[in-house]
Amino acid sequence: MELPLDGVLDLHAFAPREVGELVPAWLEASHAAGLRDLRIIHGKGTGALRRRVEGLLARHPLVASFRAAGEGAGGWGATLVSLREEPSP
């Protein structure tokens, strides 16, 4: 599967079961491409997908920080991610 490497991942195009492998792979590919500031669009819905994405981000060694996007970037329907230069040990 070809992953977008423009700093934005819209999860609306993927099945929920794909997120567990997709998000880490996209983070790693984005990091390898030199991207450090990313946005993941997960939608508002019930919040289940947002919580899943946040759980993946919290455990990923390349993630320096993440937060809900501002209203101009999707509000709580998107998460902004900052990647480290190098993975944490």
Phi, psi of 32 (to 5 degrees): -60, -30
Confidence at residue 1, expressed as pLDDT on a 0 to 100 scale: 60
DSSP codes, 2-34: PPP-SSEEEGGGS-GGGHHHHHHHHHHHHHHTT
- The pTM for the full model equals 0.89
Instruction: Give the tens place of pLDDT for each residue, 2-11.
Output: 676 999 999 9
Phi, psi of 16 (to 5 degrees): -55, -35
Residue from 1, 9, 17, 24 nearest 79 by CA: 9
Distance CA 80, CA 40 (A): 6
Provide the residue ranges of all domains of the chain, joining segments of one domain with +.
13-77
Confidence at residue 44, expressed as pLDDT on a 0 to 100 scale: 86
Confidence at residue 34, expressed as pLDDT on a 0 to 100 scale: 95
Kindly tell me if the per-residue pLDDT of 72 is higher than 80: no
Distance CA 86, CA 89 (A): 9
Instruction: Give the tens place of pLDDT for each residue, 7-41.
Output: 999 998 888 888 999 999 999 999 999 999 999 99
Domain 13-77 sits in CATH at 3.30.1370
